[in-house]
């Protein structure tokens, strides 16, 4: 079922077990990156036991520096493990936060 939805373009597989509804930008003529709020919600839905290095690496590829900056700022009050995971996802992209402190 999920395979068919992905194949038809109705949903997009962000990483194992995490899907979103892709949004297309007419201005950019391309699909937009996954919604930042959805990333945090997806992590919470998966739970810490299912968020492994593969999930983290896949999300890392999906988020650019601007998205990481935003998600780090927006999730600072999130559940401890979610915020720590997002810091791992952003990796060196989170260096701006350490330098600006």
Parse the chain into domains and list their residue ranges.
2-100
pLDDT at position 35 over 80: no
- Distance CA(73)–CA(56), nearest Å, equals 18
pLDDT band at 49 (very low <50, low <70, confident <90, very high): very high
pLDDT at position 77 over 50: yes
* pLDDT, average across residues 10-33: 79
Of 26-30, 46-50, 58-62, 72-76, the range with the highest mean pLDDT is 46-50
What are 19's strand-pairing partners? 13
E strand or H helix at 12: strand 12-15
């Amino acid at each position: 079922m999920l395979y068919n939805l992905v194949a038809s373009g109705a949903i997009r597989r962000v990483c194992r077990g995490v899907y979103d509804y892709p949004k297309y930008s007419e201005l950019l003529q391309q699909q937009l990156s996954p919604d930042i709020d959805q990333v945090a919600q997806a992590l919470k839905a998966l739970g810490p036991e299912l968020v492994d290095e593969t999930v983290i690496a896949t999300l890392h590829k999906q988020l650019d520096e601007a998205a990481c900056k935003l998600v780090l700022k927006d999730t600072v009050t999130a559940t401890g493990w979610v915020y720590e995971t997002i810091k791992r996802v952003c990796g060196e992209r989170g260096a701006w936060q350490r330098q600006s402190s």
